[in-house]
């Protein structure tokens, strides 16, 4: 191991690291041209307004509403050159590239003034509320360059929500003399960032809040934000695994693989993996919702493909199902909404019931007949998970084994067909998989390594400019990094009002799969062919070294959205 101190040079480390990790530590992420030189300035655009609910949002954000869009360009400006103390926190689920956001932030701060200091708040927003932090040094940064995971400072799902939380933050920032806090998170965390920014402004605090768009789910994107970081790497990891399974399926010629993919609500991960690997069946929740498809109809569709493939001697195949599916199936969604309302009023009573059968009996009496039938038809384990809610009121869907539920229902239907409709030629040997945690902490692809480093670098400039209530963006990322454009979007521009836990609240609109968009159209155009033939493609592992078209390619989703 080498000794060194400058950017990208491997330091003596206390831990054993793999050969690839060693080589990867030396990778210097690419930056947009504007961020490469010494002189960087902020260019202000027009004042902004959100698309929806303007009056309500203006009333809730009187101090940060309507701020202009920002471009970060080369040139002499008035960015703060005094020594600054900046904090950073990782919020929510892990996503590849989180460490590079911090590395970009660190390098930009040190380039602006070596006396600038970066503090990492530990274990998520809870660390900000409780003032748990550590100084991030060059040694720490060099150990984590281009690595996956959030372990440098860890993450958490606490929310900075109550007045006490906000007051605690204000006090901690004042005690620390913090000029800014960079919050790396998804739609909910960036919404929280906007609320904290508004609160601090109202109190006359000088600490600014800057957000960075993160989530493997790929659902924090809009006209300004091209992609949430981590989506690229996670989809590439899952696609490698799916491709390997497809090869196994055509080699063993005897298994049907049912693969569930992470993504709490939107099906972007499933759609991207389908575009990368051409499996036989991919369920897209947003289409299921748009068509009002029932669970029974989904099972009929799957069985139809299985039977048709069996007619051609293909008793094997691969199916992708998004984690979020249950909440998009009309009859299950209605049942979950009814359960949420019942939990809203009777949660304590339900929790103190003795066992599952008492809970089932009570809920069967409270749900409508149709929902009671749907709830009663689900396996015990799923019934219990559907009674849980996280701090944002979401059902923890990563614990719902939808792939196994589908296998059971398909199995029953095939048994029936064999017995009553002469379909004895169908052989159904299913295997269940869930790919989620396998990809969330993967070492970032070149795309994510470059994108996140640039996001961190941009966040430092916005904080130095004393701008608050912004989420940074890097645009034009389907082009070479030389043509990337750095900027920042006022969070109020991205907000709309939604009802959560019975209350109308401002939130950044989640980007679901657009079934009128180019990525879905590409899938829909091909799915029949993919269903009946073996049109599988095998993306292989993420490549870090080699030709640009292999190493730096963006996701198919982004390429199709941008028409490249
Ligand atoms: P974020 O939206 O916070 O980035 O998290 C995404 C995610 O990976 C989802 O895909 C998944 O449902 C969830 O986190 C699982 O999180 P946890 O392991 O905390 O239950």
How do residues 151-207 score in pLDDT, each as one tens digit?
Answer: 999 999 999 989 999 999 999 999 999 999 999 999 999 999 999 999 999 999 999
Q: What tokens appear for 39 in the block? A: 């002189």
Catalytic residue among 142, 217, 448, 450: 217
Residue 251's domain comprises 233-325+398-439+518-561
How many Å apart are CA 558 and CA 564, to the nearest integer? 9
Asked whether residue 381 is domain-assigned, the answer is no
Do the domain assignments include residue 369? Answer: no
Instruction: Record the tokens describing residue 395, joined without a space.
Output: 């059902």
Question: Measured from the CA of 91, which atom of ligand 1 is nearest?
Answer: 3
CB 209 within 8 A of CB 197: yes
Percent of the chain whose pLDDT exceeds 90: 87
- Mean pLDDT, to the nearest integer, of 300-310? 98
Whether ligand 1 lies within 6 angstroms of the CB of 156 is answered as no
3 state SS of 37: coil
Mark whether 103 and 120 lie in a shared domain. Answer: yes
Please tell me the distance from the alpha carbon of residue 438 to that of residue 541, in angstroms, as a whole number. Answer: 13
Split at pLDDT 50, 70, 90, the class of 8 is very low
List Cα–Cα distances, 87 to 7, 171, 215, 291, in angstroms. 20, 14, 20, 46
Structure tokens at 109: 């701060």
Q: Any idea what the CATH number is for the domain that residue 248 is in?
A: 3.40.50.460
Indicate which CATH number applies to the domain containing 169.
3.40.50.450
Is any atom of ligand 1 closer than 6 Å to the C-beta of 186?
Answer: yes
Catalytic residue at 217? yes
In this prediction the pTM is 0.93
d(CA 548, CA 393): 43
Q: Which one has a higher pLDDT value, 7 or 339?
A: 339
Q: Tell me: do 105 and 202 sit in the same domain.
A: yes
- Does residue 182 fall inside a structural domain? yes
Give the pLDDT confidence score for residue 77 in this predicted structure. Answer: 77
- Please tell me the distance from the alpha carbon of residue 164 to that of residue 160, in angstroms, as a whole number: 9
- 277 belongs to a structural domain: yes
User: How confident is the model at residue 80, as a pLDDT?
Assistant: 73
In a domain, 191, yes or no: yes
Asked if the model's pLDDT at residue 381 lies above 70, the reply is yes
Question: Residues 24, 144: one domain?
Answer: yes
pLDDT computed for residue 518 by the predictor: 98
Question: Strand 117-121 relative to strand 133-135: parallel, antiparallel, unpaired?
Answer: antiparallel
Report which protein residue has its CA nearest ligand 1's atom 11.
Answer: 264
Residues 63 and 92 in one domain: yes
In the DSSP assignment, the letter for residue 94 is: -
Question: What are the helix (H) ranges across 292-367?
Answer: 295-311, 330-351, 356-366
Residue 311 confidence (pLDDT): 97
Looking at the CA of residue 95, tell me the nearest atom of ligand 1. 4
Separation between Cα atoms, residue 157 and residue 166, nearest integer Å:
16
175 in a structural domain = yes
Question: How far is the first Cα of the chain from the last one, in angstroms, to the nearest whole number?
Answer: 41
Arithmetic mean of pLDDT, 403-423: 94
Residue 342 located in a structural domain? no
pLDDT tens profile 339-352: 988 988 888 999 89
Nearest to 140 by CA among 155, 115, 123, 120: 120
Specify whether 177 is located in the same domain as 218: yes
| Closest ligand 1 atom number to CA of residue 390 | 20
Q: From 90, 124, 217, give the residue whose CB has the most ligand 1 atoms within 8 Å, as the site to mutate.
A: 217
**Looking at the 3D structure of the chain, how many domains does it have?**
2
Distances (CA, A) of 417 to 257, 377, 450: 20, 20, 53
Kindly report the protein residue whose alpha carbon is nearest to atom 18 of ligand 1. Answer: 93
The answer on 410 and 543 residing in a single domain is: yes
């Amino acid at each position: 191991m080498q000794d060194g101190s400058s950017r990208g040079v491997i330091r003596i480390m206390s831990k054993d690291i793999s050969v690839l990790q060693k080589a990867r530590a030396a990778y210097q992420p690419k930056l947009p041209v504007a961020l490469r030189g010494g002189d960087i300035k902020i260019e202000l655009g027009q004042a902004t307004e959100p698309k929806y609910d303007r009056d309500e949002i203006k009333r809730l954000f009187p101090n940060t509403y309507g701020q202009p869009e920002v471009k970060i360009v080369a040139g002499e400006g008035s960015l703060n050159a005094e020594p600054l103390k900046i904090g950073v926190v990782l919020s929510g689920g892990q996503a590849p590239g989180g460490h590079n956001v911090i590395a970009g932030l660190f390098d930009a701060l040190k380039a602006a003034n070596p006396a600038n200091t970066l503090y990492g708040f530990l274990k998520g927003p809870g660390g900000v509320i409780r003032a748990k932090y550590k100084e991030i040094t060059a040694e720490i940064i060099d150990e984590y360059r281009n690595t996956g995971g959030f372990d440098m400072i860890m993450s958490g799902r606490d929310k900075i929500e109550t007045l006490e939380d906000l007051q605690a933050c204000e006090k901690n920032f004042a005690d620390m003399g913090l000029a800014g806090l960079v919050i790396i998170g998804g739609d909910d965390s960036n919404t929280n960032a906007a609320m904290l920014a508004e609160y601090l402004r109202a109190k006359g605090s000088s600490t600014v809040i800057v957000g960075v768009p993160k989530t493997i789910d790929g659902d924090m994107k809009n006209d300004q934000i091209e992609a949430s970081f981590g989506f690229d790497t996670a989809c590439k990891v899952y696609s490698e695994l799916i491709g390997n399974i497809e090869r196994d399926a055509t080699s063993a010629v005897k298994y049907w693989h049912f693969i569930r993919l992470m993504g709490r609500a939107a099906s972007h991960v499933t759609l991207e993996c389908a575009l990368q690997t051409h499996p036989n069946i991919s369920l897209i929740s947003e289409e299921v919702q748009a068509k009002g498809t029932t669970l029974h109809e989904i099972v009929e569709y799957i069985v139809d493909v299985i039977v048709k493939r069996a007619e051609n001697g293909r008793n094997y195949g691969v199916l992708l199902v998004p984690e979020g599916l249950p909440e998009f199936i009309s009859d299950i969604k209605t049942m979950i909404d009814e359960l949420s309302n019942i939990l809203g009023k009777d949660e304590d009573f339900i929790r103190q019931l003795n066992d599952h059968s008492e809970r089932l009996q009570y809920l069967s009496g409270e749900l409508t007949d149709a929902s009671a039938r749907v709830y009663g038809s689900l396996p015990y384990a799923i019934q219990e998970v559907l009674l849980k809610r996280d701090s944002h009121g979401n059902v923890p869907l990563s614990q719902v084994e939808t792939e196994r539920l589908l296998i059971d229902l398909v199995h029953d239907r095939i048994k029936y067909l064999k017995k009553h409709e002469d379909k004895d030629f169908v052989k159904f040997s299913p295997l269940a998989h869930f790919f989620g945690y396998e990809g969330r902490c993967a070492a970032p692809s070149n795309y994510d390594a470059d994108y996140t480093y640039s996001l961190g670098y941009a966040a430092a400039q916005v904080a130095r400019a004393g701008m608050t209530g912004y989420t940074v963006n890097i645009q034009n990322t389907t082009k070479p990094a030389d043509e990337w454009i750095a900027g920042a979007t006022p969070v109020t521009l991205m907000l709309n009002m939604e009802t959560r836990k019975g209350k109308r609240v401002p939130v950044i609109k989640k980007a679901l799969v657009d079934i009128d968009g180019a990525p879905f159209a590409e899938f829909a155009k091909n799915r029949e062919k993919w269903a009946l033939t073996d049109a599988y493609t095998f993306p292989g592992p993420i490549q870090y070294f080699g030709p640009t078209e292999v190493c730096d390619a963006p996701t198919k989703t982004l390429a199709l959205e941008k028409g490249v």
